[in-house]
Amino acid sequence: MISRHSDWTSFTLSVLAASTLLLMTCASEGALSGGPADKTAPTVVFSSPKPAATRVPVSTEVKLTFSEKMLPATVRSALRIVPEPVDGYDIKTTWRKLEIRFNSPLRQ
């Protein structure tokens, strides 16, 4: 009986040691390569209102859909609206969509 218990304990410790060693060596510290850098900016694949639209109510939200995912946290710092809206604007963003609501009509 002692022999079986001893064998089981040895086996369990061996499996535990091997698992620990495997887990410690499977992940290496350092920067992830992740493949080549993405140097192509996303493009607009949908917009509302349409480009060059006329007679658009001033309360209309601008809605854009992009060709690839973007980090929502970086959209505001990358967004440029010219001329700058006098009273600012609010945005809602997801991975591929951006909605802009102006706080007052845009200057012409």
Q: Please give the average per-residue pLDDT across 84-108, as a whole number.
A: 88
How confident is the model over 25-82, as pLDDT tens digits? 555 666 667 788 888 888 999 999 998 888 888 788 999 999 999 888 888 888 888 8
Which tokens sit at 51?
């480009």
pLDDT above 60 (res 86) = yes
Rounded to whole angstroms, how far apart are CA atoms 73 and 76?
A: 7
CB–CB of 68/103 below 8 Å? no
CB–CB of 72/47 below 8 Å? no
* More confidently predicted of 22 and 60: 60
Q: What is the pTM of this model?
A: 0.61
Rounded to whole angstroms, how far apart are CA atoms 97 and 49?
A: 14
- Rounded to the nearest angstrom, the gap between the alpha carbon of residue 68 and the centroid of all alpha carbons in its chain is 10
Per-residue pLDDT at 19: 55
Q: Where are the domains of the chain?
A: 44-102
